[in-house]
């Protein structure tokens, strides 16, 4: 395979995407949708080849390249210039100015990758992590030559249906690096939501307790259809149970563990997620999660094995109204919104609104905060008190 040139033909600079798994390919598709060429790399040559063959079959230009990183297979995707045109159009620009990684959710693996990238390409490239569970500061604290070039660029699942990405700054992130990532988000048609580093950033900070609460309610007596009705009435685009399958049980497990470690008094982690991992029901991508999937189409009800798990971990058979379920799903999100503002992770409630709409697809109201404010503090306090009583009874 030809060596990767450290220059690039045409107007758009190269982007290196590391990780050819489900999320990595979804991020790649977002680039293809906006005709932004990129290099895709992964330690698995099979994963890179499978993605390359699929895109090539769709008529998208794909060519093998060699990256100066040990063990990494790579292809360049979406560059339509011929070799002659490439020779005539080369322009000296920074080699690989932006890297977006979506590899395994392990701090050391991400640290090792970023060290290798700076050794290969120097300190000019911005190194973005698509982590959904780890703090960016942990990843950047790896003896890097330039920790200021590290930030977060967090995409949401399903990537094609979410309008935004979180651009996450640490206390050491260079402003130039953040600005470059913000510009790149716009290039691929995503609205950048700027925030500060912290457990779960904004979206996952609010999402984790919401999804966990759905599983707890399911094990207490709320029905699958009731949870879906309440979520849609609340303004969410799908049932939280279906969203769990989109995210995948392994990511859910890591996200839940990160939330529990950060806020041990605010969540009672459902045992259903680790049980799904143990039974290899990893989610929509493998056709088996809480639901079964055939050619990407969800089964009409929970899978029989998932129903068995719910019964195994059932704590009660309470009767809930749809309104009860809606409030119990919403209250943990209200709590986290207040905490995000107090801690400075989100600059304002407007930022939270952008995260709810662009990251979670909230659509029922023009702004999520309007729904929050309409309730009034008295009702919120009352609801939180009810939630606290409910939480205590779940642990009794």
Question: Environment class of residue 150 by beta-carbon count within 10 Å: exposed (0-12), middle (13-18) or buried (19+)?
Answer: buried
Rounded mean pLDDT of 150-176?
95
DSSP string, 120-149: HH-S-SEEEE--SSS-HHHHHTTT-S-GGG
Q: Which helix (H) or strand (E) holds 165?
A: strand 164-169
Q: What is the pLDDT of residues 176-213, one digit of tens each?
A: 999 999 999 999 999 999 999 999 999 999 999 999 99
Pair 316, 221: CB distance under 8 Å: yes
Residue 94: the pLDDT is 42
- Report the pLDDT value the prediction gives residue 183, as an integer from 0 to 100: 95
Q: What is the mean pLDDT of residues 130-145?
A: 89
Q: Which strand (E) or helix (H) includes residue 107?
A: helix 107-121
Is pLDDT at 330 greater than 50 in this prediction?
Answer: yes
More confident residue, 86 or 100: 100
CATH classification code of 203-394: 1.10.1040.50
Give the C-alpha separation, 184 to 90, whole Å.
21
Question: What percent of the chain shows pLDDT beyond 90?
Answer: 67
Q: What is the mean pLDDT of the chain?
A: 87
Selecting from 2.40.50.180, 3.40.50.720, 3.30.9.10, 3.30.40.10, what CATH number does the domain 15-196 have?
A: 3.40.50.720
Lowest mean pLDDT among 35-49, 95-109, 238-252: 95-109
Tokens of 230: 């309440």
Residue with tokens 């503090």: 377
pLDDT on residue 65:
84
Q: 234 vs 273, which has greater pLDDT? A: 273
Q: Is 396 exposed, middle or buried (0-12, 13-18, 19+ CB in 10 A)?
A: exposed
Residue 1 has pLDDT above 50, yes or no: no
Domains in the chain: boundaries: 15-196, 203-394
Q: How confident is the model over 143-152, as a mean pLDDT?
A: 93
Q: pLDDT class for 366, splitting at 50, 70, 90?
A: low
**Mean pLDDT over residues 166-174, rounded?**
96
The reported pLDDT for the residue numbered 87 is 43
Q: Which helix (H) or strand (E) holds 38?
A: strand 38-42
What is the reported pLDDT for 378? 56
Mean pLDDT within 155-173:
94
Q: Phi-psi region for residue 128, left (φ > 0), alpha (ψ -120 to 50) or beta?
A: beta
Task: Give the pLDDT confidence of 39-70 residue by residue, as tens digits.
Answer: 999 999 999 999 999 999 999 989 888 888 99
Q: What is the pTM of this model?
A: 0.84
**Least confident interval from 31-35, 87-91, 207-211:** 87-91
> pLDDT higher for 386 or 153?
153
pLDDT-derived band of residue 91, with 50, 70 and 90 as boundaries?
very low
Q: Residues 61, 85, 39, CA angle at the centre, nearest 5°?
A: 40
Rounded to an integer, what distance in angstroms lies between the CA atom of residue 97 and that of residue 183? 12
């Amino acid at each position: 395979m030809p060596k990767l040139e450290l220059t690039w033909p045409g107007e758009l600079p190269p982007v290196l995407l590391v990780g050819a798994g489900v999320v990595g390919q979804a991020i790649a598709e977002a680039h293809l949708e906006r005709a932004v060429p990129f290099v895709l790399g992964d330690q698995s040559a099979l994963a890179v080849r499978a993605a390359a063959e699929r895109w090539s079959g769709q008529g998208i230009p794909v060519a093998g390249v060699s990256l100066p990183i040990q063990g990494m297979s790579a292809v360049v995707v979406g560059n339509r210039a011929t070799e002659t045109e490439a020779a005539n159009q080369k322009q000296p620009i920074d080699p690989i100015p932006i890297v977006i990684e979506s590899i395994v959710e392990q701090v050391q693996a991400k640290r090792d990758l970023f060290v290798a990238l700076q050794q290969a390409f120097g300190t000019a490239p911005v190194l973005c992590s698509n982590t959904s569970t780890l703090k960016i500061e942990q990843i950047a604290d790896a003896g890097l030559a330039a920790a200021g070039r590290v930030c977060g660029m967090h995409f949401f699942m399903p990537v094609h249906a979410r309008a935004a990405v979180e651009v996450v700054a640490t206390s050491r992130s260079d402003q130039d690096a953040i600005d470059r990532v913000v510009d790149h988000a716009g290039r691929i048609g995503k609205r950048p939501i700027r925030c500060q580093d912290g457990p779960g950033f904004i979206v996952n900070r609010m999402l984790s307790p919401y999804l966990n609460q759905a599983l707890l309610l399911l094990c207490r007596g709320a029905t699958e259809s009731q949870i879906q009705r309440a979520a849609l009435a609340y303004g969410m685009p799908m049932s939280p149970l279906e969203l769990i399958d989109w995210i995948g049980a392994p990511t859910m497990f890591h996200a839940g563990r990160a939330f529990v470690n950060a806020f041990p008094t605010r969540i009672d982690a459902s045992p259903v997620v680790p049980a799904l991992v143990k039974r290899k029901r990893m989610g929509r991508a493998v056709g088996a999660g809480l639901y079964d999937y055939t050619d990407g189409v969800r089964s009409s009800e929970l899978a029989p094995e998932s129903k068995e798990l719910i019964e195994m971990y059932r704590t009660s058979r309470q009767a809930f109204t749809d309104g009860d379920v809606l409030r119990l799903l919403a209250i943990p999100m209200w709590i986290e919104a207040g905490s995000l503002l107090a801690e400075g992770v989100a600059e304002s409630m407007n930022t939270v609104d952008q995260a709810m709409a662009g990251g979670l697809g909230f659509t029922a109201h023009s702004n999520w905060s309007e729904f929050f404010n309409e309730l009034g503090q008295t009702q919120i306090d009352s609801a939180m008190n009810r939630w606290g009583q409910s939480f205590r009874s779940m642990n009794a």
